[in-house]
Structure 1
Amino acid sequence: MTVVRYCREKQEKYTEKCGLAVTLSAAFLLAGCQSASHVASAASAERPAQAMSSMDGVQDVRWEITQISGQKAKFFHHQPYLQFSSQFKQLRGNTGCNELAGSYELDAGQRTVKLNARAGHFSCDAALAQEAVLMDALQDAERFQLKGGQLMLQDKSGRDLLQAQKK
């Protein structure tokens, strides 16, 4: 038997085995999707999905960052923004270069906020300074103020660290 013929036979057997495994895997996945969609449609028939919306005016709103520590926020690859998700108490946004994500605690009555955020690691040389100042501002934020369609995050002494516009 030649090496070429031996390799061809091995390849055909491998293809047959892999083809069967792929077919079986696809069948199981499709069956799972069908039963999951059946359950989801049954649940939605019982109770319609509701969009999460917070009454405090801060959460579940996209806040486009306009100023960071008194400096105008710059657009690099993306518009810098923050969004507080009330359902899971998750913070997400963008520094202008990198996505940011984390968690938060917010007390609307006391107007206090505690943020725990991390940014991605995509290198944008021109955006590094803004990203560093933004991440420091988020770490130092303890209070917030709402004035019209603007959100101000402040440190413990009441100094504005960040301003954002409701979008």
Structure 2
Amino acid sequence: MKKLDYLTRSQIQSIHKLKSDRNAQRVLKQMEEYLNVIKAGENIYYLNAAGRTLVNCDKVRKSTGNIQHYIMRNHIYIAYGCPDSWRNEMRIRSEGATKKDNVTCVADALFKRGDVYTIIEVDNTQTMKKNQTKIEKYRTLKQRGSFGMIAPNFIWITISDHRKSELERLSKGLNTKVFTLKDFRIGG
């Protein structure tokens, strides 16, 4: 939870290979003094003050309306094998000819396998116009060689088939896979 912020019971179960729902519930019960829980369909867990102290975590999380963003991002983390190089909220920057030509983009997450970066983007409540702007920034960063010699992969997770189609259209020419949230339902 220090790394992923918020996790559903089924995500915890999957990451730690806890097999049955009953076993996962037993483990979470043993950890309850270190966790806060949000009841939202499937229980969502995050570290409380005691839990943050135990694992030396400075990041305070609260029950907010943005939790679904984290849960969606975690589905990708699990689906791609929980990469060790996974980093959340990473700033990618490229210097331009002038200061106003500088390009900065914050990826929801990224990881690297071999020499290839994979950039994760979550489309939950973002406007499609903002997604388009972000994709154009990624095109510029790619053209400027900000990722090295090998072009990055882009993974998007979104909430509907319509939004998936739009993201695929906007991402033409980039090595992009777009999934919907329903592709990653793992319980609950």
Task: Report the TM-score, using the length of structure 1 for normalisation.
Answer: 0.28
**Structure label with greater radius of gyration:** 1
